[in-house]
Chain A
Amino acid sequence: MERNPIRRQLAIMRQSLFDQGHVDEQFVQLEELQDDANPNFVEEVVTLYYRDSARIILNIEQALERKPFDFGKLDAYMHQFKGSSSSIGAKKVKAESTLFRECCKSGNGEGCMRSFQQLKKEYATLRKKFGAYFQLARQAGPVETASRPK
């Protein structure tokens, strides 16, 4: 257990991200890539993710405004989005993406709309959580995370 109160809080936050199912094992992979040379690697990646995926979200929104739905295109966009989300370990977002794609494949327009709304919610929630988490992480200073002194 971290003695430093900030570190302790950080650890708790981190744990809740996992416990609540917001992130999965892939997130740990990212954390393991973080080292002294790249002390803010995880934050950089997540920031990049939110920046790039915003573009895809916009594309999907625009596509959903055109009736009838071009399910092929929607599916392609979501495939992209899913790939990105899964690479940072965004578990809930990824799950919702899968649902959306299934709706596309079955031509379920309504399902797509609903799924997309849900997805955006999860996406926004995670963003807030990450924001708080990384802010705290910066305060905590150089992170030791799981690495132990050799």
Chain B
Amino acid sequence: MSQPNDFGANPYYGNGNTGGGGYLTGGSPFGSASGSPGGVGRRDALSQSLRPLNVKQLVNATQAHADADWTVENNQIGQVTVVAQIVSIQNQTTNNVYVLDDGGGRIEARHWSDSTSGGEGFDGIETDCWARVTGTLKTFGSKRYINAVHIRPVKDHMEIFFHLAEVMAVQLIFDRGPPNAHGQNVSPSAAGHASASAYTAQSNNVAAGGAFSHLPPVQRGIIEFLLAQPENEEGTHVGAIARAVGANADAISEALERLMDEGHIFSTIDEAHFRVST
């Protein structure tokens, strides 16, 4: 069954499919995918999304017009979370203003106090402490600030480094798609299940890292060995593969068959020579 390939245009799935028939499984797990049409549904999804960011990214975020969504490098953001140091706290009648600094920039966070909290701010928040602030980006006149929903002190300082790593990882996911784009819904299934159904994405990409990591170990070992060989029209002999991968002959032939069924490899000059499909 061949479906029209709408997901080819989805920015989160990079190159899209070159093979016909299969389409990528699963929608983007990030509700804030800007590829899908439909105003209201999309906005709700966006406002429910939470993006970890640095202060620098917030300071550089752009907005098409006053009521538009904020954009960080071509990706829209809904709610945001940052981990930063509190430089100063100002308790005013209607709100508390915190100036945040994470080493890469400064931004204000405002928390509107409701009548019950008496304007005292959050527990445990003092000047110079590191805190996690969650909220939405807003502007007041020309100045931008985070409208803070929640602020809590950082207890384990490794959270600072966790946040840095998360910001980087999420940015890469927006740049390149999720790490296992093809195997997202595929748990480490038994060797037999690399089934050739129309719903399994064709992993046509060259990169052994992401594209083949859903394969069982013997198959993956074969692919990695083949990819490591110098460019050769004739391909690699099955004996060399077996010696390198180290599994027994039956396991190797079965793995080779499965790989061929999937289209990952093909035989070249004879039945005993193989190359990885590109």
- Is A bound to B? no
B residues near A (Cβ < 8 Å) are: none
Binding site for B on A (CB under 8 A): none
